[in-house]
Structure 1
């Protein structure tokens, strides 16, 4: 009985082994690829990693940093929106600066009013008062002179009628009145001449300094509204209302670093492609007039011919690594820039990585 059981189990194991061998030996039909891998369209083409950028005649994307620090009060644009040169993009809280500007404007106005007052001298009413003082002093002199003449005549007729002391006092009163008249006349001439030229010049400098301080404060106030430096498209906004920004940029809580508050791209109908050619392949680049290139969109079968723009003639350290063991960290690359017309049926965005093959015409 035991031998029979062992024999049956052995047969079952043999059958299971044959069935398994048959099943595992069946070849499965491979799945078709999701897209056709990029192939080199040139006989001796050079492969390069590329990154799509907004097309600029010179330079890269426009990074915008505010010139003043403060809390963001309002953001007046949205990502993807087209803007024109001088259009307000972002407003920073300007409460303190606006009050300072108003104060300096008032100081400049006060300095100007004082300058106009000095230039308008003599005032008509002040001159009339000075003229009245002259007339009053002249009348006082005449009165003193008349009193002295009377006492002197009486003294000559009868020396006993007037004491010598009274006669001397009358004569001294004439001298005092004459001197007072001279002082009042000089004061009248001084009033009539108006403000001293040096006082006017000093006030002119005060007004000029106050005006320049106000204009500087006003110019600084205008900096609290960040405006578009050129026509373009808003690519990214890295700030929010209530957040703090400074001339160093805005703090990114994800990267824990400072970056541009707003990034703008060109508004033309083109996109740019920046390719990085490994330093060991630079000698294989064709002459600029013969350079041809084709871009392959990763994950699709789309390929787009590129138009050569320029070479950035400075070999710099590579910033994008492929994570291959054979790739050195200290690799230097030469940036080559291309452009292409925006396709209507394919969505492409600045910052997207693409595969580029570069060959000769």
Structure 2
């Protein structure tokens, strides 16, 4: 009985092995591709990957970085919004800088008030006081001279009628009164002349310096509002209220690097595509006047003819690899830019990867 069970189990194992071998031996048909790869439309075409960009006559997309550091208190635009040149985009906390500017403004106003005071001298009330002091000194001198004249006349008639001490005191009093008159006269002339020209010039320079400081502070205060440098479209906002931003940009926690706070593009209907031609294929590029290329949208059969815009005559390291084993990591590429009109029947966005074929030279 035991032997029969073993034989049955062995036969089941053999049959299971034959069935498994049959099933695994069946050749599976390959799954059809989700979309057809971009075919080369030219007999001799150069393939390149491209990135769609907002069309710019020069440069790339507009990356906005703040010129000052601080915390964002207001976001005045949304992504996809069309803005005009000079329109505010973001507001950075400017409380400290605003208080500093107000202080600088007050200092400039105080310097101006002092300058106007110097230019307005002499003050009438001060001049009247100086004139009264001059008249008082003249009266004192006249009184002293009259007293001296009387004593001198009496002394000349009879030396015994006036003591020598009284006569000497009268002479000294007349001299003091005369000196006081000279001082009062000079003080009156000085008061009447007003502020010294050098004082006015020094105060003018002080006012100019403080005004420049105030203007510089105001210019720095204006930097706390990020404004649109040109007409365009807000393509990306990488910050929100409460984020700390600096001239380096905003910190991206995912890439652990700094990115521009705002990315703007052109509001025109035209888009650009930047393709990178491998350095070993550069010699096959045609002349600029004969440049012809087509763009293929990945996932579709749509092809769009491209209009040559410009190329950057500087071969730079490739920024994106294609994960092919044969691809060198030290490959360098030549950026070539094309322009095209945005089609109405398909949505295309800057940053989208596309396939490019360029007609090669013969």
The Cα shift of 1:150 comes to: 1.3
Match of 1:308, SS?
strand
Alignment partner of 1:252 is 2:252: yes
In the alignment, what sits opposite 1:340? Answer: 340
In the alignment, what sits opposite 2:280? Answer: 280
C-alpha distance in 2 between matches for 1:104 and 1:19: 93
The Cα shift of 1:299 comes to: 0.9
Match of 1:56, SS?
coil
Pairing 1:304-319 to 2, within 5 Å after superposition: 304-319=304-319
C-alpha distance in 2 between matches for 1:287 and 1:144: 111
C-alpha distance in 1 between matches for 2:360 and 2:76: 47
C-alpha distance in 1 between matches for 2:80 and 2:164: 109
In the alignment, what sits opposite 2:91? Answer: 91
C-alpha distance in 2 between matches for 1:10 and 1:103: 100
Matched-pair contact (CA < 8 Å) for 1:290–1:360: no
Matched-pair contact (CA < 8 Å) for 1:75–1:90: yes
Structure 1 residues 34-43 or 338-347, which shifts more? 34-43
C-alpha distance in 2 between matches for 1:91 and 1:168: 85
Match of 2:134, SS?
helix
Alignment partner of 1:229 is 2:229: yes
C-alpha distance in 2 between matches for 1:239 and 1:323: 32
In the alignment, what sits opposite 1:120? Answer: 120
Matched-pair contact (CA < 8 Å) for 2:234–2:265: yes
Structure 2, unmatched stretches of 5+, are none
Pairing 1:36-51 to 2, within 5 Å after superposition: 36-51=36-51
CA RMSD of aligned residues (A): 2.7
In the alignment, what sits opposite 1:194? Answer: 194
Output one character per residue of 1:185-222: Cα deviation in whole Å (capped at 9) or x when no partner: 00100111110111111111111111111111111000
C-alpha distance in 2 between matches for 1:24 and 1:328: 38
C-alpha distance in 1 between matches for 2:134 and 2:329: 98
With the length of structure 2 as denominator, give the TM-score of the two structures: 0.92
C-alpha distance in 1 between matches for 2:221 and 2:74: 15
Structure 1 residues 299-308 or 26-35, which shifts more? 26-35
Matched-pair contact (CA < 8 Å) for 2:284–2:360: no
Structure 1, unmatched stretches of 5+, are none
The Cα shift of 1:37 comes to: 2.3
Matched-pair contact (CA < 8 Å) for 2:118–2:194: yes
Are residues 8 and 260 of structure 1, via their aligned partners in 2, closer, same or farther at CA, if it must alter by over 3 Å? closer
Are residues 176 and 284 of structure 1, via their aligned partners in 2, closer, same or farther at CA, if it must alter by over 3 Å? same
Q: How many residues in Structure 1 have an aligned counterpart in Structure 2?
A: 361
C-alpha distance in 2 between matches for 1:188 and 1:132: 9
The Cα shift of 1:158 comes to: 2.5
Matched-pair contact (CA < 8 Å) for 2:297–2:355: yes
C-alpha distance in 2 between matches for 1:126 and 1:14: 129
C-alpha distance in 2 between matches for 1:26 and 1:216: 81
Matched-pair contact (CA < 8 Å) for 1:91–1:225: yes
The Cα shift of 1:345 comes to: 1.2
Pairing 1:1-361 to 2, within 5 Å after superposition: 33-359=33-359
Are residues 22 and 261 of structure 1, via their aligned partners in 2, closer, same or farther at CA, if it must alter by over 3 Å? closer
Output one character per residue of 1:87-113: Cα deviation in whole Å (capped at 9) or x when no partner: 111111000000000001000000010
Match of 1:305, SS?
strand
The Cα shift of 1:287 comes to: 0.8
Match of 1:321, SS?
coil
The Cα shift of 1:38 comes to: 1.1
The Cα shift of 1:156 comes to: 2.1
Match of 1:53, SS?
strand
Structure 1 residues 48-57 or 147-156, which shifts more? 147-156
